[in-house]
Amino acid sequence: MSEQTENTQTDQAIRRELSQWLEQNWSADRSLLQWRNILVDGGWAATSWPAAYFGRDYNREQSALVSEIFREKGAVGAASIGPRRLASETILAMGNDDQKRRYLRPILTGEHSWCQLFSEPGSGSDLAGLSTKAVFIDGQWIINGQKVWNTSAHHADYGILVARTNWELPKHQGISYFLIDMRQPGVVVRPLKQMNGHASFNEVFMTDAVVAAEDLVGEEGNGWAVATTTLSYERRGAAATLSGASSADKPREGRVYDEYRKELEIANEPYTWYPQRQGRVDLVMSRALETGAIANAAVRQEMAKLFCLSKGAVLAAQAAESKRKSGSNEIVPAGSIGKLAASVIARQAAHVHTMIAGADAMLSGPDSAQGGIVAEVLISVPAISIAGGTDEIQRNIISERVLGMPKEQRSDTGPFRDIKRNS
């Protein structure tokens, strides 16, 4: 039997099994939590996860098919927005059985939301230079320090945290990775207002905050390897909205939908400007036609450049994906290249929007072009070159790991305690 015939038969079997299961179990009259518990018990909440942890070991295509069937039936899927996904994928990859048992289920049901506590005022790109301190006292970890730019921390129940546990070792070796309860007196979260008017990020202050011994992920001192796992998911775009199974796009009635819409409203709030930070390439053609700017050859030239870049990025992602599927060992840092491409495209889109809008681009709010969207694009695109690792850092990764170019000169080897830093 050919591979294609085999895949089609598997797809048909999945469609049959899931449709039957939804027929028997899906009801919009339950509470969201009741429904999600049924979903998790049925093994349909995270089908790409291992069967031992709520999943079915499905590949990407099979999981996409599951999302598609959920959408067709109008059934609500597992909670999937925000840094939850970073936390769950990291716990799955690097956590122990006890952590997987305790934390994965409430992530899927939506009972727990998460944030990422990595960056500090003195260490963003140089994340391994972090100085938040974790000390083991009387059977628990005591945490002191400050984090910053923490998306969704103001909604979060838990945080994935990196902190220094050993100051005598070189910087990458003295870091440990923790799961911290955000709802405790030692943790204070303060929102930060951005230049685009939103407040998606926070400063997080930890003063004698407590982490239980069993919430250390991996071994003490092995936190850098765990953090790298989280960052690789972040570069692949797992930080914001993921996994299809959404039904909020159509007005539907029933308790599940009402509660789901409320959940989405809160969870999506930090991300409402994310489409704008990508440059809104989708609006460019209609804006050029509406405003007559299409008649200007210079505008057309820049639009063509934008569409080529945009299409090129899609094709490059597809090529990387088919290499991955064919089992090729070639090192393709698709995350870094894709992230860098997204920055270039967003900047070019902002440039084209400015050419089309002219002086109107300087207005903000509803007076500005496209009801304020164009102004929001212009002041939001810089974020895409920073979040999840800056453009320069992606270039460093590509040059060192793929092109084999010489590594950066370092002055930060040796015990962390002796390294000069701006704190």
Ligand X SMILES: Cc1cc2nc3c(=O)[nH]c(=O)nc-3n(C[C@H](O)[C@H](O)[C@H](O)COP(=O)(O)OP(=O)(O)OC[C@H]3O[C@@H](n4cnc5c(N)ncnc54)[C@H](O)[C@@H]3O)c2cc1C
Q: Is there a contact between 189 and 227 (Cβ–Cβ < 8 Å)?
A: no
- In the region spanning residues 231 to 290, those forming contacts with ligand X, defined by CB under 6 A, are none
Cβ proximity to ligand X, 200 vs 370, nearer residue: 200
Nearest approach, Cβ of 320 to ligand X (angstroms)?
23
Cβ proximity to ligand X, 128 vs 355, nearer residue: 128
Position closest to ligand X via CB = 124
Q: Which of 114, 149, 158, 178 binds ligand X (CB under 6 A)?
A: 149
Indicate whether 47 belongs to the interface with ligand X (CB under 6 A): no
Nearest approach, Cβ of 19 to ligand X (angstroms)?
38
Q: Among this protein's residues, is 234 annotated catalytic?
A: yes
Q: Which stretch binds ligand X (CB under 6 A): 14-22, 207-215, 311-319, 387-395?
A: 387-395
Structure tokens at 143: 């945490």
Size of the site for ligand X (CB under 6 A): 19
- In the region spanning residues 121 to 140, those forming contacts with ligand X, defined by CB under 6 A, are 124-125
Q: Which stretch binds ligand X (CB under 6 A): 114-122, 132-140, 290-298, 344-352?
A: 114-122
Please give the backbone phi and psi of residue 38, each rounded to the nearest 5 degrees, phi first.
-65, -40
Q: Which of 346, 387, 397, 416 binds ligand X (CB under 6 A)?
A: 387
Q: Which stretch binds ligand X (CB under 6 A): 97-105, 115-123, 129-137, 412-420?
A: 115-123
Q: Which stretch binds ligand X (CB under 6 A): 145-153, 166-174, 295-303, 336-344?
A: 145-153
Indicate whether 81 belongs to the interface with ligand X (CB under 6 A): no
Q: Which of 113, 150, 196, 230 binds ligand X (CB under 6 A)?
A: 150
Q: Which stretch binds ligand X (CB under 6 A): 36-44, 244-252, 285-293, 388-396?
A: 388-396
Q: Identify the active-site residue in 89, 120, 234, 259.
A: 234
Nearest approach, Cβ of 252 to ligand X (angstroms)?
31
Indicate whether 151 belongs to the interface with ligand X (CB under 6 A): yes
Binding mask 286-325 for ligand X (x = CB under 6 A): ----------------------------------------
* Residues near ligand X, by CB under 6 A: 83, 116-119, 124-125, 149-151, 383, 386-387, 389-390, 392-393, 396, 408
Catalytic residues: 234
